[in-house]
Each structure stands twice: as structure tokens, then as C-alpha cells.
Structure 1
Amino acid sequence: MEAITTRTTGQAAMTGDQSAELAAARKSADRLAIALEEIGFDVGQEFPALDGAVSREGSAVVRIGDVQPDIADGLASALTRGMVGSFLVAPRQDRREVDHADEERSSQAEQISAWVEDIRKSDGGRGLAFHIHNASAMPVYEVELPLPGRPGEEEPRSESVGLVPPGQTIRRPAPAEWLGTYVAPEPAKIEFTDNVGRRWTRDERGTLSRAR
């Protein structure tokens, strides 16, 4: 389909409909250029003919023009990996909303913590307890406290906690043998699932990461 370029001089005046189609074509071409730049292409050098235009039938088109074989191969690889799917479909505002949603998800995970602290038992003696605190506004699920294996044990152990409601601290008994080396409250390893189904782990140093 042959297209009518609009960035050259000396051509006939466009109708109102053609002007609207051209504006739409240029907007789409600009979005495509941004997407290509985002994934590492130099649009000015590698896609110099990328432009919006109006076809002779009067509809908006985006012209990409001739590209070098290695550039085409690079674009094909990016498409195959799915790296540009969201950029080619969603406008920039949609991408910001997705990024914001990801930040909110990790924000909940950052508000989940666990530590070991001594307690006074009902019989008056000392003991140790895990404290699992959910400072977020939503519950977390499938909470587990991995424990070091005892001598001779092949399978790793864990204390299953289940659900921790928002704004609450749940306590679970810690191994009694830890009391002999206890000095002060310290972080405990914890694994949990956030409110959108992502699995997280926080290690004994308090470092948060996505569970594998």
C-alpha cells in the first residue's frame, strides 16, 4: 500500500480527515520509537525512516522503512523473548501503572518481619518465641519459619504459621535449645506469600528477596 508522506514540502493540502489520520499515525510512530529506544535500539540510526503517514486510501499508517539484516535479527530476538510486548501494546501511562503496582506488591513484603525474642512463660520460666509481624494492610499467607536441621536429620524442618492478619503479631515457640545461646532479639528467617500470590523470603540478616 503506497503511503503519502506529510513531512515534505510542495504537496497538496490535506483534508481534515487526512490531518486527523496523520496525527494518529505520528502518535503511533512516536510510541513505537520510544519502545525501540527502551530496549536498546538507536532509532535515528537504525530506523531512520520510521514515520507516520497517510495512505493513498486515506488511512493512517506507520512507515518503518528498510532496516539492516542485523537490526531485523535483533528486533526478532527481542520479540521472541517477549521483551517488547508491553511496550508495543500499552501506552507509557499504562507502564507506569504496572510499575506502581509492582512497587505496591514489594511494599507489602517489606512490611513483614520475624524475629526471636525471650518471653516469660505461664509457669514463670523463661522461653524463646518467634514473633511474626505483619505491618501491612493486607494478610500474608503460607507463612513458614525454616529451622536448622538437627544432627542426623536429612529433611529440613520448618514451623508452619499459615495466615498472619494485617496489623498483627503472631507468636510461635522457638526451639528450647536456643535459649542457652540467646543474648538479645535477633531476626529470624521467614517465608511467606503476599496478597497477590508472590512468594518471598527474608533471611536471618533481614534481607528480603523473591523466593525461588
Structure 2
Amino acid sequence: MMGMSGKYEHKDRSHLFKYLPESRDELPPRTMKDSFDRALVPLSSNIMLQNRYTTTRKGLRVGRLLEDMDLFAVWIVFKHIYSPKIPLDVPHPYVAVTLLVDEVIVHPKRYPDKDLILSGHVSYAGKTSMEITLWLDQLQDNKLQRVTNANFVFVARDPLNKSSVLVNELEPSGDDEKELLKLSLDTILSFYTYKLT
């Protein structure tokens, strides 16, 4: 669980409850651009990283990729969550818990000696949960080629991980973000329709 690293597991975090919102009105709306980020895993220049990511058959370890994507998704979650009442010098009162990983697509061409580029953003925000859309690319023949993409769903929890906590509303800016939000809503609705039938 992100937000509860080893150094906090045995410390009292109850003092952080005062920084949690009582209503969503306290949280400013966020856009997909607010949470968008990109990170580079320099496999082309770091032999130690290559060894960690390479299988015995000279492919990329899919499990390692998914671990990195999950960790990166948590970073995106914390970029999305913004409350003006949380001071900069206080540990974040939220805990982010991975609820599920969906629509994982792993493409066949993956190279252990080419840099990995992680990208993603929040694509939907409910009252206490967020969907994060991530993709992983590699530069091949001077073009970005998709390695994998997935949707992660996270739940925001209180400092002691006892109950859910409100998150910022997602407000699309521009037609592209509106279309992405519509796609996420369609996916969520079809998931619940399937579960109910």
C-alpha cells in the first residue's frame, strides 16, 4: 500500500486525519493534464537495469513491467489528489490501494536493451476511486512502439487504511479529454452491466 511505507507502519498516523476533506467542495477539480506524467527506464545505458528486466530468453520480464506500471500509477494518483489544506512539510494523509488492473495488453515486440518510456494520467475519478490509464513504449527504428498498456483502478484510503476518502473530481479540458473520459465511463458502465447480468 502506497502511503504506508515501512517507516509509517508502526507510527501513529492518526494526526493526519485533520488534513482529509470533509466534502468534495474542499477539493479543486483536476484535469487529465494535471496528473499526466512520463518516466524513463534507461535500459540502453544501464547494464544493472537490463539484468533486472531481462528473462533467460533475452525478453523483457512482464511481471517487472507490471510492477513498475503499478508504482508509476501510484505516482499519478498522488499527482491527481490535491488539497490546499495539506501542508508541504506533512506526510501525505492519503493511502493509495490498487483495486484492480484491467485491459492489460502486452505486445510481442519487447527489447531488453532499449529504453522504456512510461506515460499515464487519471482517466476517471469517482468519489473515492480513480482509474489510471498507462502505456509503456520503446523507441524502435526512430519510432515509439507500444510495449504494453493497462488500466489501473485505485481506492483512496485514510491514513490508517480503515475507510475510503474523497478525491478530486476529474474535469476534462478540451475535446480530447472529454473523449477519453467518455471511453472510461463506457468501460466502467459495461463492467457493471456485465456483473449485474
Q: Normalised by the shorter chain, which TM-score bucket? A: under 0.3
- Which structure is richer in relative contact order (CA contacts within 8 A, separation 6 or more)? 2
Higher-Rg structure is: 1
